[in-house]
Homo-oligomer: A and B are copies of this chain.
Amino acid sequence: MPYFDTASAAPLHPVARQALQASLDEGWADPARLYREGRRARLLLDAAREAAAEAVGCRPDELVFTPSGTHAVHTGVAGALAGRRRVGGHLVVSAVEHSSVLHAADAHEAAGGTVTQVPVDRAGAVSPSGYASVLDPSTALACLQSANHEVGTVQPVAEVAEVCAAAGVPLLVDAAQSLGWGPVEGGWSVLTASAHKWGGPAGVGLLAVRKGVRFSPQFPADERESGRSPGFVNLPAVVAAAASLRAVRAEAEAEAARLRTLVDRIRRRVARLVPDVEVVGDPERRLPHLVTFSCLYVDGETLLHELDRAGYSVSSGSSCTSSTLTPSHVLRAMGVLSEGNVRVSLPPGTTAQEVNGFLEVLPGVVAGVRATLGVGAPPAAEPVSDALEIDALGLRCPQPVIELARAIGTVPVGGTVTVLSDDEVARLDIPAWCTMRGHTYVGEAPRPAGVAYTVRRRV
């Protein structure tokens, strides 16, 4: 049963399992103690820190283990901001960061700080000039992911780091999605990562802070992990995390090449096999194992459910907001279609057969969902009006777009269809649908109930 959501959590790497089990016997004691069990634990902890630091590309004393990638991000952002409090309270983040970074930014704003979001292009990438234009003398910290968790686009980290260095602003890089594939290049100041994304166990994050970066942890004092990560270290998990990072790195080049080929096949064939689909994210500068596409006239949750029934585990929308009704902030920032969104992220070892199986069932599953939603050929009736208005209030994604698609054939070329909708997703998906279809998106206007989105039929 293929599991294609490794960007959310990867199954435990065999080396991680082995290291975890071995260190359950040797690594349960307090490494701060001086007796033999403590000394053994300390040796394991030191060795794990050295291995992880080597993989990150930093000194062991620059690296601490946290209980999760989220803790690493929260601690990293708050600590770096507090360390430069005298400089100012301005934080810069990209619009497509992981929710842990954006939530840390929200907390900073709630505490009186200011936050600027750097926009991305339609492929999901920031530009170095985008960062350069918003750094100012009060900027305490800039954050940028190494690669996007939802669409796989690799960010120009080294270039942004140069821009930040020129402005004297430290750069925090969230490397959660990429660290298993290789070290982050360029002059970052703070780096965060999460072990369960590379096949390590849950319960381990990495936080690296370069020497010389002002850093002030924002929680009660604790002697452990240089005061940067309170609480008893989960040593067996830390050992397993470090061992598996080394193991996946040893396999990374070959595995990346193999998975890149499989993902290329998905990108090409999805576009060919599924009507009305948009494959999103940069086709070249991207993670090797991840591809995302959106299907018009399809409800993402139903699509996931049907793919799950067919034996394929994939995710949809933002990795951390799939339970909400709002569209993924990443897709919104990119300005691409969000309805019927599917993220496929292949774990190491995924076979061509598994990918082929997925590509075989996908078109039928999408067609099935569309049939359930009543999507057929749009009515071929003669145009009845120059300016049609559809009441889609109360209808949820993808229904407003389905109604729009049905209606567009009933107005003459140059005529308009206005969709009245109170579904937040319509704001993103109606313009995206226009782009895909070649119609002109006229704009939106508030109404007493909902918003009116107007589209002009293409020539």
Contacts and interface: CB of A to CB of B under 8 A. Distances in A.
Interface of A: 1, 3, 5, 8-12, 17, 20-21, 24, 28-30, 32-38, 67-71, 74, 100, 103-104, 106-107, 194, 196, 201-203, 205, 219-223, 230-237, 301, 304-305, 308, 313-315, 320, 322-323
Which 8 pairs of residues, A with B, have the shortest CB-CB distance? A68-B231, A67-B67, A203-B234, A35-B313, A70-B231, A103-B220, A107-B220, A202-B234
A3 B236 CA distance: 19
Contacts of A12: 24, 28
21 contacts: A3-B29, A5-B35, A11-B29, A20-B24, A28-B196, A33-B322, A34-B301, A34-B308, A35-B304, A35-B313, A37-B313, A68-B232, A68-B234, A70-B232, A100-B220, A106-B221, A107-B219, A194-B232, A196-B232, A201-B234, A202-B233
A305 B10 CA distance: 43
Given A202-B235, A220-B100, A234-B234, A8 B30 contact: yes
B106 A220 contact: yes
A320 B29 CA distance: 14
Q: Which residue, of A17, A30, A315, A323, has the highest number of chain B Cβ atoms within 10 A?
A: A30
A20 B25 CA distance: 13
A258 to B, nearest CB: 22
A119 B450 CA distance: 62
A202 B74 contact: no
Given A36-B313, A74-B219, A100-B230, 4 more contacts: A8-B30, A9-B29, A35-B314, A104-B220
A100 B5 CA distance: 37
A103 B8 CA distance: 35
Contacts of A71: 67, 230-231
B106 A201 contact: no
Q: Which residue, of A29, A34, A35, has the highest number of chain B Cβ atoms within 10 A?
A: A35
Contacts of A308: 34-36
Contacts of A230: 68, 70-71, 74, 100
Contacts of A304: 34-35
Contacts of A235: 202
Contacts of A8: 29-30, 33
B202 A232 contact: yes
A387 B5 CA distance: 80
Contacts of A20: 24
A32 B323 CA distance: 8
A32 B317 CA distance: 13
Nearest to A219: B74
Contacts of A237: 202-203, 234, 237
Contacts of A231: 67-71, 205
Contact of A9 (B28, B194, B201, B323): B28
A202 B204 CA distance: 11
A37 B234 contact: no
Nearest to A34: B304
A321 to B, nearest CB: 8
A201 B236 contact: yes
A35 B306 CA distance: 10
A37 B196 CA distance: 15
A252 B245 CA distance: 40
A104 B230 CA distance: 11
B201 A103 contact: no
Contacts of A107: 219-221
A217 to B, nearest CB: 10
A74 B230 CA distance: 9
A111 B375 CA distance: 59
